[in-house]
Amino acid sequence: MIYVADSKRYEVMIYRRCGKSGLKLPAISLGFWHNFGYNDSFENMRNMVRKAFDLGITHFDLANNYGPPPGSAEENFGRILKFDLKPYRDEIVISTKAGYKMWDGPYGDFGSKKYLIASLEQSLKRMGLDYVDIFYHHRPDPETPIEETMEALYQIVRQGKALYVGISNYGPEETKLAYETLSKMGVRLIVNQILYNMFFRKPEEKLFGVMEELGIGATIFSPLAQGLLTEKYLNGIPEDSRVKRSGIFLKESDITPEKIEKVRKLSQIAKERGQSVAQLAISWILRNNVVSSVIIGASKPEQIEENVKAISILKFSEEELKRIDEILE
């Protein structure tokens, strides 16, 4: 059956400017880090992407190494694009990244010009695209001069293979240096994709301030702390949970009694606001003006629908924020 997008999709979503660029991103984006590999159901992937787009999620976030195996998420997304989203290509923002190990030998990792340009070529082929909307360097490389890494991003924009470029997992000083280096070449760095959630607040110390000053937007990954900031683990570890399935990114040892108690207390505030813990956690991140978009993961379409409801209650009272801070301390 031919997919036709919901005609009311733009009535649901909020769109926020990405830093000082002209690009607007949906407040909630769909990430392909998990559940889009070879071992996952392709029909389920299609259903999730369709549901996301029907809800106004126009930004799909990938990386060369997402899978498993690496490259499979991009391949699967390329198939979904071909089957369902091709007529809507100009309505969507596709981002990908390179910076983690992708292939053997000295040219398949980190931040050399050789690796980044070769990796993007491969990504474009896997997805069946001429260009991506955003290309990120996935992590800082302590051994490659920042000038070389930024020169690769400059070349990628000049060749028309990415419309915008960003960085990911860069700290405050690294962000400033990357921005200044790229600016001298005449290309604007518009976004830094970072880890931030109620249990990991380090960006508040300095990074958000630097990004605000430079006009760089934040896209946030792991907003629910790999599922910890949901009701999922309040009564033990379910058999179908990510912990039981892989245990790589979220381990049983991460699910401490202290964290569960915090989630229980947050759950009370969420109930008072008419939200789930996950919706509360997403709304809380979006209260920050530097944040352009929160990237959610999902294993089924219903989770996407549930998380998008977070945007209907974005305001917090001073009292609520104070109570949340007390819980998180």
pLDDT tens across 20-79, in order?
A: 999 999 999 999 999 999 999 999 999 999 999 999 999 999 999 999 999 999 999 999
CATH number, span 9-227+276-313: 3.20.20.100
- pTM to 2 decimals? 0.95
Residues of the chain with pLDDT under 70: 236-249
Cα–Cα distance, 89 to 328 (Å, whole number) = 41
Domain ranges of the chain: 9-227+276-313
Q: What are phi and psi of 111, to 5 degrees?
A: -140, 25
Res 240: pLDDT:
62
Res 121: pLDDT:
98
Number of CB atoms found within 10 A of residue 254's CB: 15
Which H/E stretch holds residue 168?
Answer: strand 162-168
CB 212, CB 218: distance < 8 Å: no
Res 242: pLDDT:
59
Q: Report how many helices (DSSP H) and strands (DSSP E) the chain contains, helices first.
A: 12, 10
Res 300: pLDDT:
97
CB 185, CB 215: distance < 8 Å: no
Number of CB atoms found within 10 A of residue 278's CB: 22
Structure tokens given for 88:
């809507």
Cα–Cα distance, 297 to 276 (Å, whole number) = 16
Res 236: pLDDT:
60
3-state helix, strand and coil shares in percent for the chain, rounded to the nearest 5 = 45, 15, 40
Which residues on adjacent β-strands are paired with residue 137?
Answer: 98, 167
